[in-house]
Amino acid sequence: MYDIVLLPPSFPIVAMENPCLTFVICSILDSEDFLLIDVIHEIAHGWFGNAVTNASWEEMWLSEGLATYAQRRITTRVYGAAFTCLESNFRLEALHRQIRILGHDTPLSRLQAKLDPGVNPSNLMNLFTYEKGFCFVHYLSQLCGDPDNFDSFLRDYIEKFKFRSVVAHELLESYLHFFPHLRDETTGRSEGLEFDCWLNAPGPPLSQPDLSQGSVFTAPVETLSQLWMSEPLDVEAASSFANISDWQTFQTVLFLDKLLDKSPLRPEVMMQLSLCYSADLATMNTEIRIRWLQIVVRNNYQPDLPQVRHFLLCQTSRIYTIPLYEDLSSGPLKSCALEIFYQTHGRLHPNLRKTIQQILAQGGSAVQPESAVPVLATELCAQNPTSLRDVNVTA
């Protein structure tokens, strides 16, 4: 028997597995594809994470990387390889975006991360844990020659270690014991592909799966993003190329992420994007809307700024608030963020409230909810009043 419990949107974690029971925040319900992936991923934790658990925070990939691999094996069987490749493409692009931001040498990108004194264990729960971990597991599945054979190994691994905590060495020794011909071969130890390098080298995955089967979904996204970035802009060609209302969610968020990477955009491009898509995007799911609103903020696009305020007044989920607060606070719209926080802080989870206070305090003194109004008043004096009036209009 398996069941799902829907939690208030202020619950700090999107989804959390428990034996035969998954907790999911209700604010993700409108994002059908994301909900599907989250539920399957949490089910996979029944084996990787619950039945067999990583022995320390420093090797979270043993739970998350294996669960992500199992999740994608399931979605490939049920929904097809193209869908799985699309979702993987979206996640891996996000991984490489994080590498560009943090740098190739960030210690957080090691699979065997070091929990040194002062390091918050929560920081080890990142895209590297999931996606670099997945790439390593996928590499192991290819190294043994057949994904079905690797499935047999995983079943043997679960049976051997069930109800125990393990370290990476035990997984890899079990793997080489199951595939003894690999122990003496040089393939797994060739430069740049040895197990130790996978586990301890920082930076991107040493290899990635072939995602070409997803090109039926990803190729239109690439073409559309290139059309909007072309100089000079051909508005007719870009606006008529595809109806994104017919796209899958992962296609649309992949497209918007590409626009986010290029922001701030040329003013002409931003204006035409809004004219073409803003009305439709406003009716789509939350995963799509937050990305569009991040684009609006990073481009300080006045006509659509009221949507940002309305969105944040309605949202209390960490994943749907932090990105916008970070963008608002790093630009000319920080006073808008302060005002919204003052109005909503009582509905936020204490951990989220503290995080937003830290974001708003960057470059200035600490922000307490009760002090937001006077701080806001100070900010207002330094801001363009027309800009703030537009922000504060309820959409």
Binding residues for Zn(2+): 41, 45, 64
Please say whether the beta carbons of 68 and 37 come within 8 A: no
DSSP string, 222-266: HHHHHHHH-SS--HHHHHHS--GGGS-HHHHHHHHHHHHHHPSPP
Is 59 in the active site? no
Please say whether the beta carbons of 34 and 17 come within 8 A: no
What whole-number distance in Å separates Cα of residue 139 and Cα of residue 145?
10
- Name the binding residues: 41, 45, 64
What whole-number distance in Å separates Cα of residue 174 and Cα of residue 156?
9
Q: With 0-12 CB in 10 A as exposed, 13-18 as middle and 19+ as buried, what is 62?
A: buried
Q: Taking the mean position of all CA atoms in its chain, how far away is CA 135?
A: 16
What whole-number distance in Å separates Cα of residue 261 and Cα of residue 263?
6
Considering the candidates 69, 130, 157, 175, report the single residue annotated as catalytic.
130
Helix, strand or coil for residue 98? helix
Considering the candidates 17, 42, 87, 379, report the single residue annotated as catalytic.
42
What whole-number distance in Å separates Cα of residue 229 and Cα of residue 241?
14
The answer to whether the bond into 264 is cis (omega within 30° of 0) is yes
Beta bridge partners of residue 164, listed in sequence order = 52
Is 42 in the active site? yes
Helix (H) or strand (E) holding 384: none
81-102 and 61-79 helices cross at what angle (nearest 10)? 150
Catalytic residues: 42, 130
